[in-house]
């Protein structure tokens, strides 16, 4: 086989592999909201008693709406990590940063925004498990 022909075939294979990889990765990264949409029970970390229920609804590939019994919010997720800004019915607002663990559970760190208008870490973490 001629070196030029082999080089052209190798170049074509690299292009096909690159296109395939890009397609697969785009579907993996953009399917995030599909993966987390649903109903969850919310537990304070390291406890077994549920403290709230949580519903997640897809808006688009990265954006979702989230709500519980006395709060609601909107957030984004990319590569199994994300955040959502929330508001409780009493007016308290804040942000939760989260990640999806290997069991498909959502692990979140809740931070409230108080008088100084900065995210204050309240050391309140949770695990949310699908219903």
Q: Buried (b) or exposed (e) across 30-56, using 16+ Cβ within 10 A?
A: eebbeebeeebebbeeeeeeeeeebbb
Query: What is the model's pTM?
Result: 0.71
Query: In this structure, what are the phi and psi dihedrals at residue 60, rounded to the nearest 5 degrees?
Result: -145, -165
Task: Give 63's contacts (C-beta < 8 A, 6+ positions apart).
Answer: 33, 74, 75, 76
Task: Write down all domains in the chain, each with its CATH number in brackets.
Answer: 31-130 (2.40.160.90)
> What pLDDT digit, counting tens, does each position of 56-105 carry?
999 999 999 999 999 999 999 998 999 999 998 888 888 999 999 999 99
Question: How far does CA 108 lie from the centroid of its chain?
Answer: 10
> What pLDDT digit, counting tens, does each position of 104-125 carry?
999 999 888 766 545 555 668 9
């Amino acid at each position: 086989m001629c070196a030029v022909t082999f080089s052209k075939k190798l170049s074509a294979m690299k292009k096909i592999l690159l296109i395939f990889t890009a397609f697969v990765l785009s579907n993996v990264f953009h399917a995030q909201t599909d993966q987390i949409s649903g109903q969850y029970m919310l537990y304070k970390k390291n406890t077994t008693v549920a403290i709230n229920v949580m519903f997640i609804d897809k808006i688009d590939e990265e954006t979702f709406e989230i709500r519980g019994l006395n709060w609601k919010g909107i957030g984004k997720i990319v590569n199994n990590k994300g955040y959502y800004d929330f508001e409780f019915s009493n007016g308290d607002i804040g942000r939760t940063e989260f990640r999806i663990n290997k069991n498909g559970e959502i692990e979140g760190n809740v931070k409230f925004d108080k008088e100084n208008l900065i995210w204050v870490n309240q050391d309140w973490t949770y695990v949310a498990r699908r219903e």
